[in-house]
């Protein structure tokens, strides 16, 4: 997994998996126990992982594999 595309995809799958698992856990927590404090903690984890995805996507425009595929780089 040395190429940049594979590394990026792997980097995105980790937080997306955490988001998916925690969304399901949050739903089940509210349905089964109604524990708002536990649900808030779970949703905070989801928000943290969303910020991680956003950070990874921000860096995407500066990678060679995006520029090489004909997507124009943003002009500052």
- Return the pLDDT at 60: 78
Closest by Cα among 9, 5, 48, 72 to 40: 48
The phi-psi region of residue 70 (left if phi > 0; otherwise alpha if psi is between -120 and 50; otherwise beta) is: left
Check if the beta carbon of residue 11 is closer than 8 Å to that of residue 56: yes
pLDDT of 11? 87
Record the pTM: 0.72
Answer yes or no: is pLDDT of 72 > 60: no
Q: How is the chain split into domains, by residue range?
A: 13-67
Kindly state the tokens that stand for 17.
């998996």
pLDDT digits (tens, 9 = 90+) for 9-56: 888 899 999 999 999 999 999 999 999 999 999 999 999 999 999 988
For residue 74, pLDDT beyond 70: no
CA distance 52 to 50: 5
């Amino acid at each position: 997994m040395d190429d940049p595309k594979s590394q990026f995809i792997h980097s995105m799958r980790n937080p997306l998996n955490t988001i998916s698992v925690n969304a399901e856990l949050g739903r089940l927590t509210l349905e089964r126990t109604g524990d708002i404090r536990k649900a808030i903690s779970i949703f905070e984890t989801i928000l943290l992982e969303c910020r991680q995805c956003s950070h990874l996507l921000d860096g995407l425009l500066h990678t060679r594999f995006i520029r090489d595929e004909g997507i124009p780089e943003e002009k500052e």
